[in-house]
Amino acid sequence: MAWLDLTQDATGCSLVDTGRMNEIVQDMSHPATQYPSLISFVGNHNRMLALRSLFPHNNVLRRSSAGAIRLHLSITTAHNEYPIWFAESRLQDLPAVGECSKALWKDDVHRYSIDGTRFPTDLRGSLLTRLVFPWMHVVCFFVDGLAELERTKSLLEATQSRIQAGASSAPVRMRVILVLTRSTAVYEIDPVEVLRAVRGIADPDQVSLSVVDLRGRHQLSGPALFAPLQCQVLDELQLSRTERLQRGLLFSAVHQAFLWHRSL
């Protein structure tokens, strides 16, 4: 379901918040005492194949092109104390800035005029680096080839290492999973070394980097192919929950939505 989008009209560009996060909170059984883990899947089409295996009860392919960034509640964890919210978007060639689709015109849709100083050049990338990644416990990048690796590097370099809500902010550690899937992908340099050169990743207090290499598993079926990724995701989410709980940064669903909306 569409969460964030960009539109353009005679007055300029606008950020669209569809109200999707509020919808998810309302769909939960006891959101004031449920503490969601947030994870983002960014990359090529392999991310959709992975999501279909990791979250088989969510129809992630339905209207998968709506909006620039989409947000889902994992159906199987919806009533757990620690439900999973997962966002997904493309790494390259995000939808062009255009007129808002009619599906987005709902009562809870909010539009914000874009300040050129806040989103200076890469509007679509800024959605990820300023409004999505800082709030995510884990981010999975699906990378196949040099162009996608360079795009991933630039996004990580631009990502803020603090969550900002109004005048308040707090440092957070984002846990990054690099997912390699295509055995024929060509890299001039080891992709892990490329990302480890990013300033934030060089500091383990800011970013934790792990790699799931699936390039030798391409002949396996979906669930078997992505089994190592599923294990890594669950491990990283558990580590993040423990870390954030100790630091007082694990928020209830209600609190999470409130704080995120203050960052707009």
pLDDT in tens, 233-242: 999 999 999 9
- pLDDT of amino acid 115: 66
Q: Name the amino acid, one letter, at 177.
A: I
Q: Which of the four CATH numbers 1.10.3720.10, 3.40.50.10490, 3.40.50.300, 1.10.1060.10 does domain 2-262 have?
A: 3.40.50.300
Distance from C-alpha of 8 to C-alpha of 251, rounded to nearest angstrom = 34
pLDDT in tens, 102-139: 444 456 788 877 765 555 457 778 889 989 999 999 99
- pLDDT of amino acid 102: 44
For residue 92, the tally of other CB atoms under 10 A from its CB is: 12
* Domain residue extents for the chain: 2-262
Cβ 130 vs Cβ 160: under 8 Å: yes
Compute the C-alpha angle 50/54/60, nearest 5°.
70
- pLDDT of amino acid 178: 96
Q: Residue 99: pLDDT above 50?
A: no
Distance from C-alpha of 173 to C-alpha of 208, rounded to nearest angstrom = 7
The share of the chain scoring above pLDDT 70, in percent, equals 87
Query: Mean per-residue pLDDT for 219-230?
Result: 93
